[in-house]
Amino acid sequence: MSFSLPASSSMHQILGHTIEHSADKHTITIDGRFVNFSRTEYQLMILLLQHVEQSKPFVLFADLRQCFRQPPDNLRRLLSRRMNYMREKLWPFELDIVNVRDQGYALIHKPA
């Protein structure tokens, strides 16, 4: 499955938050607060957001692989590390990224 990045500056209501993104700056704005991501993290986050918006339960590992310029041999370990960095950026918004065992990752709302 291929994916394309949505146009810059689109706004969405996702998991109770107003979310905007800028592909040029790799920035996602959640409820008016900027959250900076690396290029790869931004692409991973966009995929996660798209799946929530489309009411899909999670993003498959195979789809997440596309976010890397050179897909690594150790994809799951690299994804785990990246997702952990991203999770810390999302916690202030009561959002979390969870591993769906042997299948992929999902973005969820996690009340404090």
d(CA 88, CA 97): 10
Q: Are strands 10-14 and 17-22 parallel, antiparallel or unpaired?
A: antiparallel
Domain span including residue 41: 10-109
d(CA 46, CA 26): 10
Q: Does a structural domain hold residue 1?
A: no
Provide the CATH number for the domain around residue 37.
1.10.10.10
Q: Would you state the pLDDT for residue 70?
A: 82
Q: Does a structural domain hold residue 4?
A: no
Q: Would you state the pLDDT for residue 73?
A: 84
Global pTM? 0.86
Q: Does a structural domain hold residue 48?
A: yes
Residue matched to tokens 């291929």: 2
Going by the DSSP 8-state scheme, the letter that residue 31 receives in this structure is: T
- Domain count along the chain: 1
- Ranges under pLDDT 50 in the chain: 1-7
